[in-house]
Amino acid sequence: MRILPSTLISTEVLDALTALLLEKEALRRALRVQRLGPRVEDPELARRRFRRIIGITHELLNLDGVHVDEPRLQLTHRLRHLPRQVLNLCFFLFPIAFFFIYLDLHHEETAPATWLARLAVFSLLIIPLLVYRRGKLNIEHDCSYVRDASGQTITIDQLHSVQFDSYVAHEYAHHLYFELFDRKKEHWIREGWARLAQWEVVHRLYRSEKNPTYLYYTLDQVVGELKFACEIISMVLGRKLPKEVQRIQTMYKMNPLLRHLTGTPGFDIYELLDHAIGTASYFLAGHCLGSEKALCQPASIEEQLTRLKEEGLEKCRFIKM
């Protein structure tokens, strides 16, 4: 069971995080998603884009002259095979749907069997769409960084270039944390540091490419994690969140049935808690102290937040970008 850091359990922190969440949500709503770019299918193109992310990240962290081993980049092909898998599902489900259509045509309009048949037909026709949407989201978010006896590997599917750059930036940040800092630190510290580093990298890509989609896909994760952190802290403090915060829609649906009906991705609640605590801690410190300071001293994040609380978080201004 994860324990909420004491540095986050206060009304001042909750108010500051709520303001930060509303600021990020306002930015997400204001962005107009543009081109995602072509899928990164060629291994050589993937390596070139990856090395560009490495260069931006090293510049961000002032790592010029610091040697860091480059992890292996592994492209998977699950998105390419997903349409065929859904099509096979359709071949299985549609004959059953036609059987229920046949039952519907041979019963009176008011017969209970008629309504049951119609409900069955609707369910069978909508299932492939939900499977495709949820499968696509799960694959897009299922990027990973693994260290084992064979070396270090970042695994990612053949995503659109904007998504590819964003998720690779997050996984490479994990690699840098293990290479440069204390590997024994809590999981939430590593996740929060990687998310803030990812945000700063995509912000630079947004400025250079003039494409707000870079910000949008990272904000989708950041907003969801910040809201979950606010919900957990408010539960601990026994406070209600403002209605404008409660109305914020995220990809993280707590109800499993609702996740299936909406096609949103599944998740592990404890993993989400680690991500939420880390994102809340680092984004709050980054906003008040500057991202450079928060990223260059990751091990002292709790000390930074404690100092902020002592000095007064109300001094931190939250201004929409």
Q: What does the DSSP assignment read for 280-303?
A: HHHHHHHHHH-HHHHHH-GGGHHH
**Where does a domain end: 139, 171, 190?**
139
Q: What percent of the chain has pLDDT over 70?
A: 85
Residue 203 lies in a domain: yes
Residue 87 and residue 135 in one domain: yes
State how far the Cα of 228 lies from the Cα of 103, in Å rounded to an integer: 46
Is residue 180 located within the same domain as residue 295?
yes
Establish if 40 belongs to a structural domain.
yes
pLDDT at 61: 93
The per-residue pLDDT for range 74-116, each reduced to its tens digit, is 999 999 999 999 899 888 888 877 776 766 666 655 556 666 6
Question: Is the same domain home to 46 and 124?
Answer: no
Q: Looking at the structure, do residues 49 and 164 belong to the same domain, yes or no?
A: yes
- Residues 50 and 111 grouped into a single domain: no
Whether residues 124 and 42 share a domain: the answer is no
Q: CA-to-CA distance for 155 and 251, rounded, in angstroms?
A: 22
* Confidence (pLDDT) at 270: 85
User: Rounded to 5 degrees, what are φ and ψ at 148?
Assistant: -145, -170
Task: Tell me whether residue 149 is in a domain.
Answer: no
Tell me the mean pLDDT in the region 207-213: 92
268 inside domain: yes
Q: Whole-model pTM?
A: 0.86
Dihedral of the CA atoms 318, 191, 136, 145 (nearest 10)? 150
Number of domains making up the chain: 2
Instruction: For residues 51 and 184, state if they share a domain.
Output: yes
- The residue range of the domain holding 253 is 6-73+159-315
**Residue 294 within any structural domain of the chain:** yes
Per-residue confidence at 266, pLDDT binned at 50, 70, 90? low
163, 250: one domain: yes
Residue 144 lies in a domain: no
Q: Is residue 153 part of a domain?
A: no
Q: What is the pLDDT of residue 1?
A: 39
Q: Is 145 helix (H, G, I), strand (E, B) or coil?
A: strand
Q: Clarify whether residues 68 and 108 are in a common domain.
A: no
If asked whether residues 26 and 100 sit together in one domain, one would say no
56 and 106, same domain (yes or no): no
Q: Cα separation of 310 and 241, whole Å?
A: 24
Please state, in angstroms and rounded to a whole number, the distance separating the CA atoms of residues 301 and 290: 12
If asked whether residues 94 and 186 sit together in one domain, one would say: no
- Vertex 309: Cα angle to 306 and 310 (nearest 5): 90
Answer yes or no: is 154 within a domain.
Answer: no
